[in-house]
Amino acid sequence: MNRQDRADAVDREMAARLLPDPVVRALGQWWEVNASAYADGTPGAHTVRYTPSRWAQITPWPKALAPTSASGDAAVSRAEVAAAVADVLKREAFREALVATYVWGKGKRGTPGGSGPAALHKILAFDGLDTALAAAVTALREHGAPEAYAALKGQVLGLGPAFFTKFLYFTGTAVPPAHGPRPLILDRVLARRLRQIAAAVGRESGHDPDGSIATWVWSDSNWTPHRYRIYLSFMHDAAEQLAKDADWPSGAAPDLLECALFTTRWESSG
């Protein structure tokens, strides 16, 4: 059995087993703490703080964000970003949508000369940006989330999956995909959570005794469209599992699970 065959076997085992008991317990504890904030079963209230003045070099600047001339910090929630993206997409202002999702994703980590504003400025200067973003939105609308992911992967210098999946996630709230699940955010933290689950499944099933397959497929970045498809399928099925078998809100959206996994840790055996 070659490496890809072993990876496929681990994927099948994960799809069958879904979230192991330690993860289910940890997520149940997360929900006990956060139930009042996310009572509607969505992470819309998930709020990020940012410093508008640090992004002064960035244009176009979405009206939904505090003006860059403002002093001090500001806050923006997932629901507010989703509403802003829905609004700007009506006029195909893809750059504004990207800026809103990027600033939300960076939050307080954005510094004037650092990886936040400086990196975004370079992305916005890329000649093929508008074409790439438009193609991704079209692919989402006409095909599905994995196809939209494939349309953006490697197309814009400096814009990797950790941030373009944020663009796809918020776009998906306004432009539902033609087929399959809506996009979800996939970044390094979430990949490491899935890697931990995959490593445990690989040990228990014998398909990946040393965890090397889990490390390969759930790397820190540069995931393939196939891996993104696997991720979406797992997260949607796992959300259903939690609603049935755990202290989790009935009908909760898969992005609530994504939000919870991002901030949840658990002890694993082995």
- State pLDDT tens for residues 146-186: 999 999 999 999 999 999 999 999 999 999 999 999 999 99
Rg of the Cα atoms in the chain: 19
Structurally, the chain folds into a number of domains equal to 2
pLDDT confidence of residue 114: 52
Residue 153's Cα: distance from chain center in Å? 14
Going by C-alpha positions, the residue among 199, 200, 201, 219 that lies closest to residue 211 is 199
Range of the domain at 256: 3-34+187-263
Is the same domain home to 7 and 105?
A: no
Give the pTM. 0.95
Going by C-alpha positions, the residue among 193, 144, 187, 185 that lies closest to residue 167 is 185
Please identify, among 174, 201, 220, the residue that sits at the C-terminal boundary of a domain. 174
Query: Could you read off the pLDDT of 115-132 as tens digits, one per residue?
Result: 689 999 999 999 999 999
Q: pLDDT class for 246, splitting at 50, 70, 90?
A: confident
* pLDDT (average), residues 129-150: 97
Query: Could you read off the pLDDT of 54-93 as tens digits, one per residue?
Result: 999 999 999 999 999 998 999 999 999 999 999 999 999 9
